[in-house]
Structure 1
Amino acid sequence: MPSALTRAQMLDRMFAADPAYDGIFITGVVSTGIYCLPSCRARKPKPQNVEFYPGPREALAAGLRACRRCRPDECYAGRFPDEERLSVLSGRPVSDWPSVGELARALKVGPSKLHELFREHFHQTPAEWLARRRVEEARALLLAEPERTIAGIAFEVGFGSLSTFGAQFRRLSALTPHAYRSLPDSAQFRLTLPGDYPARRVLLDLGRDPHASTARVEGQRLTFSLDLGNGPDCIDGPGWAQVDLNPGAARVTLPGAAGPGAARVHRALLRVLGLESSPTRFQVAAQALPGWSPLVKDAPGLRLPLTPSRFDGLVWAVLGQGVGFAQACCLRRRLLECLGPALPCGLYPLPQPAQVAALSPDTLRGLGLTRARASSLQALAAAVAAGRLDLDRLAQSPWPQVERALLALPGFGPWAAGYALLRAFGAADAWPTGDAALARSWQTRRGLPRRPTATELTAACAPLRPHRALAAFYLWQADRTAGPDWSRP
């Protein structure tokens, strides 16, 4: 049996059909005599009929044969056929695929296989993937080529009508195309919020750090630190934004003139306010399940806020693994105080990879980090600072590939990888395996005599795939609130 994971963890990942664990262990089904990848979609065996092996060689030695459905030998030969098929999408303009049908033809698959691929690897439908890619390309063109007409850009990125382009752009950007193009000239702008936007619940999450190190909530106002980068499209120095959440709109105020860095501010706001995701499909699935429908009824429209930067989300994952939330907040506050002075608004700048990588192991140990945690944080920061781990590029990859990359980082286990996928990358089906708060919340909400195991909790949320990230967020929020009757937005 592989030593890095317990039997319970491997059973949990097997029942979740998690492709991120393909290549990490083999599932042997002694009742049928076959061995499979953890992600195999064949009917799952009973736990007592399962043995785990490091790889195919050990499974073959035990007298088992390879599954013809998931083809584990290909995986262990370094091949992931579905990811290889999807690689043709990388680096190409979205206009190459004017429709979902053209996308299927480019990948040489039928409609059913196409939807299965996008569900498993991108956690969304092909149509949604196309819409998001088109809007992303349109945003870039609106700022890079201000002399071009909005209509010309809309048609170039693949929209068939201006009305569809406008509706999709507003849905995914919370701005009109014209307002987005005006961002570089604006020190203030206004984001349109969905009608069911749960402002109070989002603020409850954003203000959960008792130290208010990089985000502060005062009434309906959010002030938070920004990662403005070091390139030509940034404001000089660390930055912050102030957001007033009103019914139907968020009024954003930036310190001084925004300049070209306003596009980075806009991207960060979409992440922080949870506007990069839609709760609709999750709510439809959850409302049909007795265990989940009360949560959705109590908090309709809940969205998942992400960290302002991906690196900050990974820092949270390292500091929070294996400790309580309060301790993670304390460690993070000490790290930020060590990295530099506070901003004029009283908050600390977000941690930067080069800064963290430059800290000595003794300095990190002096902040209260264990030797292993300090080593993990330094290795992560050094990899990002040196460009060996390009987080923006990684975010464009299929989610199983992202999770494998995270699990390969020193000190990153299933919880840390799942948390990073959820908070830093916004993967819709991310699930932080073994999270104590999730188990405690599920026990309370269901009136269970004991806390569920990781395997039991994974099974309970399996019908919600590929929208388990929102399921986790609902449980976290329920764990932080007193009773089921949450106040309305």
Structure 2
Amino acid sequence: MTDTTLPLFNRLKERLASSPASLPSIPSLASAAGLSEEETAALVAEHAQLKPAAWMERERIGFATRLLLDRERSATSIAESAGFATDAGYQRAFKRRMAMTPGDYREALRTSRFQLRLPRGYRKTEVLAYQGRDPQGLAERVEGACIHKALMTADGPAILHLDLSGTHVDASIDSTRKLGRHSVAKLHMDALKILGLTGDAMAFEQAHPGLVEGRRGLRVPLISTAFDALCWAIVGQQINLAFAGSLRRHLIEVAGTPVGSMKVHPTPEAIARLDPSDLTSQRFSRAKTKYLLAAAQAVASGALEIEDLWRGSAIEAEARLTAQHGVGVWTARYVLMRIGFGDSAPVGDSGLATALQRLHGLAYRPDATETAKLMDRYAPWRSLASMHLWASLHG
């Protein structure tokens, strides 16, 4: 099914991205695909790892945010162009996806401060722990309930501050340069990724109450760029978290872009310029160094186009990633999970296998094949299920 359906999925994706109003409903999507609604749902689940309604809403809101960058477009015309039948439906979907109203979003593009709404039951503890996993981190730090993240924009580096101490998230931006509307829009999306606000946990929680008991509201924090996610996955292969954190910190130290007292994660070009000894002298293995530099060179040259993978097919994305030397299924699926695909379990992960062993009372730790079978029951939410299983190891 995969080889024959990828071109069809890509055609639907391109049409939805460029003209969402031409596909106003799931029946119209199915008609455009030449499939039944059930077959269309299977197609979208296989590639986008979403239900059709969620996929269409995501693409419509993405289209609307691009139109909101135009100061002259009216709210009504934007809603219609994005394919919403009513303004009320547009407003609800926008708040659900962007954690603010369209009007607040347009206003935020003019400033260096904005507020994000948090869903009911949102769990801050795990997000703060993930962002603060390296207490000496250069690209991200956590102080109390505040996350500080160094990020790159089209106008230069900036530090995004996210204060989670209240019922809303208070976001502020520090930069030595004036940031344009596109840069602020990018940082707003980065904030949603960091906080795990790009997906909805409710359907999964309703389907698997036993697994989520005591952890309702848990989210999947995403990594701001796919290249950062790929580097982190390569660095973390077959070593513990503390050691992986120290290696990543060194990588950022030698190749990152300074901003204030922090550094932005290195670009592919910056890592590609490194000499292997820059890494092997700091406890990077020769194999890890080789894989990391090869990945950076592939992305920098355009041979591996990575930043838009999240918009397309998970199957195509995994194939592109695993074609890269040193990137196996575990690495690829970890990247997919951290860039926003909702049904990507990093099978082969030792922690995931241990959690499944405990959950099912097994006398042995399942291998990758059995882990994949045990995770099948959590489709189409295997990314979030993985987060819950990892969290179960810590009580």
Normalised by the shorter chain, which TM-score bucket?
A: over 0.9
**What amino acid does structure 2 have at the position aligned with 1:283?**
E
1:356 and 1:341 map into 2 onto residues whose CA distance is: 11
Q: Which residue does the alignment assign to 2:163?
A: 244
State the Cα distance separating 1:135 from its structure 2 match. Answer: 0.5
Q: Is 1:105 matched up with 2:21?
A: no
Asked if the contact 2:357/2:363 (under 8 Å) is kept, the reply is: yes
2:388 and 2:152 map into 1 onto residues whose CA distance is: 27
Asked if the contact 2:256/2:270 (under 8 Å) is kept, the reply is: no
Give TM-score, length-normalised by structure 2.
0.94
- Which residue, out of 35, 41, 44, partners 1:115? 41
State the Cα distance separating 1:340 from its structure 2 match. Answer: 4.4
- Which residue, out of 279, 292, 296, partners 1:381? 296
Indicate the RMSD between aligned Cα atoms, in angstroms.
Answer: 1.8
State the Cα distance separating 1:367 from its structure 2 match. Answer: 2.6
State the Cα distance separating 1:235 from its structure 2 match. Answer: 3.1
Q: Which residue does the alignment assign to 1:192?
A: 117
Asked if the contact 2:268/2:300 (under 8 Å) is kept, the reply is: yes
- Which residue, out of 302, 316, 326, partners 2:242? 326
Q: Which residue does the alignment assign to 2:8?
A: 85
2:309 and 2:373 map into 1 onto residues whose CA distance is: 29
SS at match of 2:142: strand
1:279 and 1:340 map into 2 onto residues whose CA distance is: 34
Q: Which residue does the alignment assign to 1:268?
A: 190
**What amino acid does structure 2 have at the position aligned with 1:196?**
G
User: Which range moved further: 163-172 or 347-356?
Assistant: 347-356
| Aligned ranges 1:299-318 → 2 under 5 Å | 299-318=215-234
Deviations 1:115-153 (A, max 9, x none): 11111111111111111111000000010x211211111
**What amino acid does structure 2 have at the position aligned with 1:95?**
A
State the Cα distance separating 1:296 from its structure 2 match. Answer: 0.7
- Which residue, out of 83, 90, 105, partners 1:180? 105
**What amino acid does structure 2 have at the position aligned with 1:252?**
A
1:370 and 1:103 map into 2 onto residues whose CA distance is: 49
State the Cα distance separating 1:275 from its structure 2 match. Answer: 0.6
1:95 and 1:389 map into 2 onto residues whose CA distance is: 32
Asked if the contact 1:272/1:306 (under 8 Å) is kept, the reply is: yes
**What amino acid does structure 1 have at the position aligned with 2:11?**
V
Rg comparison, structure with higher value: 1
Asked if the contact 1:220/1:245 (under 8 Å) is kept, the reply is: yes
| Aligned ranges 1:141-180 → 2 under 5 Å | 141-143=67-69, 145-180=70-105
**What amino acid does structure 1 have at the position aligned with 2:117?**
T
2:389 and 2:263 map into 1 onto residues whose CA distance is: 29
Deviations 1:179-211 (A, max 9, x none): 111223211110111112111222122212243
1:392 and 1:181 map into 2 onto residues whose CA distance is: 25
Q: Is 1:451 matched up with 2:330?
A: no
**What amino acid does structure 2 have at the position aligned with 1:463?**
R
State the Cα distance separating 1:272 from its structure 2 match. Answer: 0.7
State the Cα distance separating 1:214 from its structure 2 match. Answer: 1.8
Unaligned runs of 5+ in 2: none
Q: 1:451 to 1:328 in 2, by over 3 A?
A: same
1:422 and 1:82 map into 2 onto residues whose CA distance is: 22
Asked if the contact 2:113/2:173 (under 8 Å) is kept, the reply is: yes
1:86 and 1:447 map into 2 onto residues whose CA distance is: 40
State the Cα distance separating 1:447 from its structure 2 match. Answer: 4.7
Q: Work out the percentage of aligned pairs sharing the same amino acid.
A: 34
Q: Is 1:390 matched up with 2:278?
A: no
SS at match of 1:254: strand
Greater helix percent: which structure?
2
State the Cα distance separating 1:164 from its structure 2 match. Answer: 0.3
Asked if the contact 2:20/2:81 (under 8 Å) is kept, the reply is: no
Unaligned runs of 5+ in 1: 1-69, 229-233, 288-292, 484-489
SS at match of 2:24: coil
Asked if the contact 2:256/2:266 (under 8 Å) is kept, the reply is: no
State the Cα distance separating 1:381 from its structure 2 match. Answer: 0.9
Give TM-score, length-normalised by structure 1.
0.76
- Which residue, out of 176, 180, 199, partners 1:259? 180
Q: Is 1:225 matched up with 2:145?
A: no
Deviations 1:362-398 (A, max 9, x none): 3232232222221211121112112222223333221
- Which residue, out of 327, 335, 338, partners 1:420? 335
